[in-house]
Amino acid sequence: MVIAAAAGMGAWVYSGAGQSAAPQSTFVLLDGSTRSTADLQGKVTLVNFWATSCTTCVAEMPEIVSTYRKYQGQGFDTLAVAMSYDPPSYVVNFAESRKLPFKVALDNTGAIAKAWGDVQLTPTTYVVNKRGEIVKRYVGAPDFEELHRLIEKLLAQA
């Protein structure tokens, strides 16, 4: 039973989301500024829903930082969205102590997670193309080699 559940979960982790427009959302960043879904257009963007209490999220964060640094000069961006149950002070401390180089948003009300497919499990990561369409969703840590190939393919598209 557990093996069947794990196999099913494995298939679900890497299921694509198809190409649908990213939900209209306003992201409140740690510095108090805001970004909207419209601001994502023109870049390939990784939108990562995470929490400081999520061990997988914490473990994958160095890879997300590395991915951001590898592609940021080519039109790639990253937005980490902290879940509503994550205390803002923990998120700020995490972002500052680990010197996260990308934008970090607080989803205080849970409205952003709800709009993006009712995200409940962390990490949940979306890849958004230059046209603002979700092209991939990962529940759990992504296969970073696969993710890098996808990012490179999307960056090469007009």
Q: For residue 134, what pLDDT is reported? A: 97
Q: Determine the pLDDT at residue 4.
A: 35
> What's the pLDDT at 18?
54
* Verdict on whether the full-model pTM lies above 0.85: yes
Q: What is the pLDDT of residue 19?
A: 76
Cα 109–Cα 19–Cα 75 angle in degrees, nearest 5: 80
115-132 burial, b at 16+ Cβ within 10 Å, e below that, comes to: bbbebeebbbbbbbbbeb
- Report the chain (158 residues): mean pLDDT per 10 consecutive residues: 36 50 96 95 97 97 98 97 97 98 97 97 97 97 97 94
Residue 9: what pLDDT? Answer: 38
pLDDT score at 6: 35
